[in-house]
Structure 1
Amino acid sequence: MASPVWMLLPLLLLLLLGSLAGHRPWKKQVYQSHKGIGEACRINEECQSNCCTTGSLDPSKQCNPKTILLRCLPWRKPNGHRCFHNSECQSRCCVRSNRSPQKFCTPLTIFLQCVPWRKPDGDFCGNHRECNSQCCIQLREDSPHRCIRRSGILAQCLPL
């Protein structure tokens, strides 16, 4: 009678040879019919391009081409659309555009900066960063802080 170790040896040899050949029984399911660009999908592996992302404000996914650098980039909102985070926008810039708390995708400056909207002179403020002039001071001891324009030869943040 053969020992149990000798009976398992052919099975172990088969598993070893299969893993060397790239065949693994525990490998993820491979989709036989890859979908083309524009077809509906759920996961990257369904697509020929291996890139399944949303293509517009519509949350459904579709197969999309990869970039020149072979990256699969998610679709991002163009300028003017409502947003919550910088990562949602093509410009990577999601800021308030007025007193309203809503944020919108806005273009970067020519220096590639994302500049938030700031309060105009005369508005109430809590710190210098809130003001367009970067100057938030209390005009009198008993008055609230307000945004004021910078004054003086060196354009300093001084009371009037």
Structure 2
Amino acid sequence: MACARRLLLLLSLLPMCKAWKPKSLFLFHKRTGEACDDHSECQSRCCVPSSLNPQAFCVSKTIFLKCLPWRKPNWDACSDHAECRSRCCVTNSASSEKFCRPRDIFRQCTPWRRPDGARCGHHRECRSQCCIALSEVSRPRCVRRSGLLAQCLPL
């Protein structure tokens, strides 16, 4: 009988104990992707804000155990290099809208350029880096480089 009373007493105190637990006892209970307010809430001990909204989320640390801020993945719309994981925010068509793009094999962030035959206004707009008017009355177009030293010459 005394044992049953003790058990009932412990069970009645259990909800009260849970309500009064300090925040520090809930360490490391949130997984990657869950909303958080502090690093101590996450299993990774890494809570960073999303650039899409002010809410912070648990993220995993890098291989160097750094807690990096969340950045947009490739192909998401962007306005600055710092917004992207790849640190490469460029246009990928003739429109002015920019997107996060992966870097090339040389770790270069190369912007989209117009193909040969497309109208252009400057050499840097073309893949060939060659924008010339094919005649005196025509508008400039991107043309492939020609000649012995692959120069930007009219045909």
- When the two structures are superposed, what TM-score results if normalisation uses the length of structure 1? 0.65
Matches of 1:65 and 1:133, distance apart in 2: 41
* Alpha-carbon spacing, 1:100–1:35, altered in 2? closer, same or farther (3 Å): farther
Matches of 2:92 and 2:83, distance apart in 1: 16
Q: Aligned-pair distance for 1:63? A: 3.5
Aligned equivalent of 2:119, options 120, 124, 146:
124
Contact 1:35 1:63 in 2 (8 A): no
CA deviations over 1:1-56 (Å, ceiling 9, x no partner): xxxxxxxxxxxxxxxxxxxxxxxxxxxxxx96265344533455776866321368
Is 1:115 equivalent to 2:115 in the alignment?
no
Alignment of 1:1-160 (within 5 A): 33=24, 35-36=27-28, 37-38=30-31, 40-42=35-37, 44=39, 51-54=46-49, 59-160=54-155
Q: Aligned-pair distance for 1:124? A: 2.4
Length, aligned pairs only = 130
Q: How much identity, in percent, do the aligned residues show?
A: 58
Pairwise CA RMSD: 2.9
Matches of 1:78 and 1:48, distance apart in 2: 23
Unaligned 5+ segments in structure 1 are 1-30
Matches of 2:75 and 2:59, distance apart in 1: 24
Q: Aligned-pair distance for 1:98? A: 1.0
- Report the 3-state secondary structure (helix = DSSP H, G, I; strand = E; otherwise coil) of the residue aligned with 1:95: strand
Q: Aligned-pair distance for 1:115? A: 0.9
Counterpart residue type for residue 125 of structure 2: E
Contact 2:78 2:84 in 1 (8 A): yes
Contact 2:47 2:58 in 1 (8 A): yes
Q: Aligned-pair distance for 1:118? A: 0.4
Matches of 2:63 and 2:80, distance apart in 1: 26
Contact 2:27 2:40 in 1 (8 A): no
Unaligned 5+ segments in structure 2 are 1-21
